[in-house]
Amino acid sequence: MILENFEKLVTEKYRDDNEFAEFLRENLDFSLELERENEFLTKEIFTEEEISDDTAINYLEEINLSEEITESEQEEFVDRLDDENIRERIVLDNLTEVAKIGLYFCRQGVEYMELIQDGTMGIIKAMNNYSYENGDLKKYISFWIGREMAISIKDRFEQTKTEFLYYMTKTHMDEIEITEEEKEKKIKLVENKTIDDVPFKLSQAEIKIIELYFGLGKEKRYSILDIEKELSLVKDTGETLFCNAVGKISSIGGRMFVI
């Protein structure tokens, strides 16, 4: 299932934890593909209303320092998910998966590090609901990570939309310096907006660059030169693409939609 369809599935049908857990038990062949049908993006770099912060970069550097869980350890750990030390190891082991999935879900007006928090909660919920019949633990965890991110983004969208409409209907025209006709037009535009109208922040190429540079889900980290070769990029363009991508996940602020 591609990302947009997964977002609709969990936000419209499986907001309840127990119901989502039951859905996964009844659909053991379910899969989430980190692919998007709509590849439309924001501007090349963050807007003037946004500022850059190093938190996301520092986070991506730090999670690579955690020791990975071996296959034998994972087999042992599934019997001990009530052990707090084991749970902490599993959370740390899946932070790179959270970081990777967050790149695909991040939309305009959504801060990447907030998605990291949502995804980490997904790991915890996955451990709370996991049983042997669910199969591979890491795959199961990835479903919950994506679900928490999708629901959080949809809720932020609805909150932003509600706040905008409240502001427009309650504020006097003299304060916002537009005509009544312009006001009604803006209200109508926002009323008709859906989450599908909110662009993703990163292109597939930018996501791959970040994945390779920080070693997300990879056995090694790639240099910019290696990335240019791996992705068949024009020579000396990798650095610019990388900086743009990093700027987008490091940005703080900005609006989900602009009217």
| Domain range summary for the chain, segments of one domain joined by + | 1-259
- Please say whether the beta carbons of 244 and 46 come within 8 A: no
Q: What is the percent of the chain with per-residue pLDDT over 70, rounded to a whole number?
A: 92
pLDDT at 9 over 70: yes
Burial class of 55 by CB neighbour count within 10 A (0 to 12, 13 to 18, 19+): middle
Which tens digits make up the pLDDT trace of 18-52?
Answer: 999 999 999 999 999 998 887 766 544 445 456 67
Which tens digits make up the pLDDT trace of 99-155?
Answer: 999 999 999 999 999 999 999 999 999 999 999 899 999 999 999 999 999 999 999
Q: Distance of alpha carbon 144 from its chain centroid, rounded?
A: 12
From CA 68, how far away is CA 138, in angstroms rounded? 12
Closest CA to 69 of 97, 39, 105: 97
Residue 78: how many CB atoms within 10 A of its CB?
A: 18
State the pTM of this model. Answer: 0.91
